[in-house]
Amino acid sequence: MVAPRFKLPHVSHNDQGWGPASDESIQQFKDIPYAPYSKGDKLGRVADWYDPEGTQNMGRDHRGRHQRRQDPYQAYGAGTSTVFVHHQEEDEASFSLVDSRAQAMKKTAARSQQPGQGGRGGRGGAGRGGFQRLGTQRGSHRGGRGGHGAGGFRRRPGWRDYDRPQRIRFATINVGEEWKLLEDIEFHRLAKLSYSVEQPTDVALCGQVNVYAKSYDRVNLRSEQPLRRSEYIYYDVTASEDPIMERLARQDKARVFATDSVITMLMCTTRTVYPWDLVINRVGNKLYLDKRNGGPLDFVTVNENAYDQPIESNDKENINSPSMLAVEATRVNREFQMQAVDTQQRVNMPEGNPFHEADVKEPPASAAYRYRLFDLTTYRVVKEGVDSDDDVEIEAADTSCPMIIRTQLDAALSSGEDPHKLSYVSLHALNQFDVRAPGNGGALDWRKKLDSSRGAVVATETKNNSCKLARWALQGLISGADQVKFGYVVRQMPGDNKRHTVIGTQSYKPQDLAKQANVNLKNSWGIIKAVVDLCLKLPEGKYVMVRDPNKAHLQIYSVPLDTFEGDDDEDQTENPVDEK
């Protein structure tokens, strides 16, 4: 038997360059053409069987239905002229296909200011459709071929958005040289957390609230109400400066103290896009989760979660930049909260307003402060019963961790059957700026569509302001509010951010609003539990938690005790919104 032998194939050797020598022919590749390669070509699909007709116009600037982007796919080597062109040798002019498709009727319409890829209404037309396709760039709308339009919803970004310019954002505070990074937490780790809390108990109730004016439930486009400037004083004091919390801390009622604004921001961390920061104070065995005066938590964002957020500008006269829109939205919220109540009917809480001093002439805004105790202690089962629940024994798996949150209620609502039975309302305002300005999020014009297309308006706001609406829903749940009421506010003139008009209102139960905003309550409390446990392990001192401006990360820094000490007064005077 002859053993098999392996014969090494011939390998061409070229000392003068790469590949086989030019004078040496390779028989098996003799008749195969070579397609030249250009680095300027965009590499896409090898073949597009979905769009056979579109390949006839490849490289041309056509706006047909088959165009998927402003930058169409290029054939391999299309950027370089090639001699390998197939020439038809046989005459096939007599061969044709019958087009059995129905021909759309041509319509005419005004051209949209924002070019899209197909306005509703036919070939070459332009129009305003009810929805945008879930995709492509701004201005891609449902409709006929070659049209332009404006609509409502876009698709979420995918692999086709590889060339979309990335916006560089700046942190809300500058990291000092003496700051030491302790923790760097990625958002995807927070999304997996889960924790359940029991019903809270009230430990204090302070302030005064006005009764909600039910006439605002009947406001619509035909009976709009101009928004008036408010002369009331609004208080948003951080936890470590709250006199009620100082009293409760001395009484050892809790270990953790925070406001609903800080807690809901932490709960919605994974939804945030804009940067923000918190101050963590460890004093003895107590933990205070604070905000900075004049910091990002004092303002209401606009279209933070939109596909194209408002563009930041160095031009101070640009009223549609994110910072100017936040100032405008904060002022609109406060003015609506006082305009939507009856200033002649006021309900006093057991304790007065803890922040309003007697020598201040201006009256305080309508607000009741409810201090609620939540138990964040982790328990474990040490003995499980067999026949009845009485045999179940549990014990604390860690140190007791009660937390007091100061929540806010904006108005009281009397019942028609029993005027003495009151329910509490949380008031907020959704404001729309110029619908033609960049960053409008593809929203419908409220002045035209609010009454007839309320559902589409709500869906668009839920998409563009996911973080803001989730925070409002969580604030309603934490405070125990019976209703959350929204006011729809628009500018009287698109270029004037000082004068506004209320054109409608809408009411939700906090549970329904949380469901509408797709809020996972267990995950929200899981984030709070994880952050509190992490902060309680820190030694005494001051720390800063920063939301990274360009990455989905939370960072905790150890900072000197005198950090921010001299900035409070400066931030207070520079705050464009009147605040005490």
Furthest CA-CA distance within the chain? 115
Confidence band of 145 (pLDDT split at 50, 70, 90):
very low
Give pLDDT, residue 175: 87
Q: Could you tell me if 459 and 443 are in contact, meaning their C-beta atoms sit under 8 angstroms apart? A: no
Over residues 171-195, the mean pLDDT reads 92
Domain range summary for the chain, segments of one domain joined by +: 127-165, 180-574
The sign of the CA dihedral 137, 143, 146, 152 is: negative
Over residues 275-286, the mean pLDDT reads 95
Q: Could you tell me if 239 and 263 are in contact, meaning their C-beta atoms sit under 8 angstroms apart? A: no
Over residues 202-210, the mean pLDDT reads 96
Give pLDDT, residue 36: 58
Indicate the average pLDDT of the chain. Answer: 78
Lowest-confidence range among 6-15, 76-85, 137-146, 532-541?
137-146
Whole-number Å distance between alpha carbons of 506 and 217: 7
Share of the chain above pLDDT 70, in %: 68
Q: Could you tell me if 268 and 471 are in contact, meaning their C-beta atoms sit under 8 angstroms apart? A: yes
Whole-number Å distance between alpha carbons of 134 and 44: 21
Helices assigned H by DSSP within 432-465:
446-449, 454-464
Over residues 358-377, the mean pLDDT reads 93
| Whether the predicted pLDDT of 389 surpasses 90 | no
The sign of the CA dihedral 444, 445, 447, 449 is: negative
Confidence band of 13 (pLDDT split at 50, 70, 90):
confident
Concatenating the DSSP letter of every residue in 158-219 gives -GGGTTSPPPP---SSPPPTT-EEEEEEEHHHHTT-----PPPEEEEEEEEEEEE-GGGGG-
Lowest-confidence range among 234-248, 355-369, 409-423?
409-423
pLDDT digit string (tens) for 401-431?
999 999 999 999 987 666 567 899 999 999 9
Global pTM value? 0.70
Lowest-confidence range among 62-76, 322-336, 388-402, 517-531?
62-76
pLDDT digit string (tens) for 242-269?
999 999 999 999 999 999 999 999 999 9
Closest CA to 109 of 120, 117, 96, 101: 120
| Whether the predicted pLDDT of 379 surpasses 80 | no
| Whether the predicted pLDDT of 224 surpasses 70 | yes
Confidence band of 205 (pLDDT split at 50, 70, 90):
very high
| Whether the predicted pLDDT of 342 surpasses 60 | yes
Confidence band of 384 (pLDDT split at 50, 70, 90):
low
Over residues 291-316, the mean pLDDT reads 90
Q: Could you tell me if 441 and 308 are in contact, meaning their C-beta atoms sit under 8 angstroms apart? A: yes
Q: Could you tell me if 211 and 323 are in contact, meaning their C-beta atoms sit under 8 angstroms apart? A: no
pLDDT digit string (tens) for 88-100?
555 555 555 555 5
